[in-house]
């Protein structure tokens, strides 16, 4: 069984529904949602969608944390709750702006035998790793193990100390961006963490320009490898059917990417 977990406020409801629609046609996949506000919780309670929407009160978070800290701590605490309270064997934590183009069960082979796993940025832009860290936290895998419990406890403690979205901070020698630059700390402190280099998952605007994109039998391929999921980071609706795609700073020739990847997501 693949257990996919995400988190969202009502503001990003369209993205959560798109993510849900992209996975619900596959077998042996469960979608677990942590609601960030009462409105989205009420929506799924009323609609009775296929995903499992939890109560916000399953754990308590200190109200003194800033917004970035709160989100980071809540999403990791949600994973900890699913693994060690609900006793799920695994959790694939994802941002709400992810969309599956093929079977999520393909993830099993990629993360096999690891306690935690996440992807390198592998950016088109050389400055991205310096600004945002070597790894992307939009997709994090966790196995149910004692080592994972220790990793999550440490990760949450790091987030309690400092999390913000500022890229440059002259008073510090090393930049801390959101919770993802802490992933580098975890790889130094813990064993059995897989650092993924795989073109089939967590591709996004920062690295999609590196690949040859093809469609065969209604399946999307990057350099002849079937794409599992894409991370539609920075997609924003401007007005009615007009969208900002967040590609400009990363990709020069965008027409093929728009047609083959983004159009399906925007329609959804």
Q: How many CA atoms lie within 13 A of 124 on its CB side?
A: 16
Residue 50's pLDDT is what? 77
Q: With CA atoms as reference, report the closest residue to 188 among 218, 151, 153.
A: 151
Q: Taking a C-beta distance cutoff of 8 angstroms, is the pair 69, 163 a contact?
A: yes
Whole-number Å distance between alpha carbons of 258 and 253 = 10
Residue 240's pLDDT is what? 84
8-state DSSP, 55: P
Q: Give Cα separations from 93 to 5, 202, 209, 229 (angstroms).
A: 5, 12, 25, 13
pTM across the whole model: 0.94
Q: Please state which architecture CATH assigns to domain 2-198.
A: Alpha-Beta Complex (3.90)
| Number of residues written out for the chain | 268
Q: With CA atoms as reference, report the closest residue to 258 among 219, 240, 232.
A: 232
3-class secondary-structure state, position 100:
strand
Burial class (CB in 10 A: 0-12, 13-18, 19+), 200: buried
Residue 126's pLDDT is what? 59
pLDDT in tens, the chain (268 residues): 999 999 999 999 999 999 999 999 999 999 999 999 999 999 998 877 779 999 999 998 888 898 889 999 999 999 999 999 999 999 999 999 999 999 999 999 999 999 999 999 887 765 555 677 889 999 999 999 999 999 999 999 999 998 877 655 545 555 677 789 899 999 999 999 999 999 999 999 999 988 999 999 989 999 999 999 999 999 998 888 889 898 887 887 788 899 999 999 999 9
Residue 170's pLDDT is what? 47
Q: How many CA atoms lie within 13 A of 141 on its CB side?
A: 25
Q: How many CA atoms lie within 13 A of 127 on its CB side?
A: 4
In sequence order, the β-bridge partners of residue 194 are: 117
Residue 128 C-alpha from the chain's centroid: 17
Query: Residue 69 — φ and ψ, nearest 5°?
Result: -65, -45
């Amino acid at each position: 069984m693949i257990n996919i977990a995400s988190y969202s406020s009502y503001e990003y409801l369209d993205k959560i529904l798109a993510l849900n629609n992209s996975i619900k046609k596959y077998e042996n996949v469960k979608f677990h949602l942590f609601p960030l506000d009462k409105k989205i919780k009420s929506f799924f309670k009323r609609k009775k969608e296929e995903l499992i929407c939890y109560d916000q009160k399953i754990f308590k978070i200190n109200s003194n944390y800033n917004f970035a800290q709160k989100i980071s701590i809540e999403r990791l605490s949600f994973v900890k709750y699913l693994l060690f309270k609900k006793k799920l064997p695994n959790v694939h934590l994802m941002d709400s702006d992810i969309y599956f183009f093929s079977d999520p069960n393909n993830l099993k082979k990629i993360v096999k035998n690891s306690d935690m796993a996440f992807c390198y940025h592998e950016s088109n832009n050389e400055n991205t790793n310096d600004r945002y860290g070597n790894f992307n936290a939009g997709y994090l895998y966790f196995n149910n193990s004692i080592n994972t419990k220790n990793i999550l406890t440490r990760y949450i403690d790091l987030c309690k100390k400092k999390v913000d979205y500022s890229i440059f901070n002259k008073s510090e020698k090393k930049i801390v961006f959101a919770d993802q630059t802490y992933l580098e700390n975890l790889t130094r402190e813990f064993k059995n963490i897989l650092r993924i280099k795989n073109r089939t998952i967590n591709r996004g605007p920062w690295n999609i320009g590196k690949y040859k994109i093809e469609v065969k039998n209604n399946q999307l391929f990057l350099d002849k490898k079937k794409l599992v999921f894409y991370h539609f980071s920075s997609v924003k609706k401007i007005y009615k059917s007009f969208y900002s795609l967040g590609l400009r700073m990363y990709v020069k020739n965008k027409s093929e990417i728009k047609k083959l990847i983004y159009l399906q997501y925007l329609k959804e």
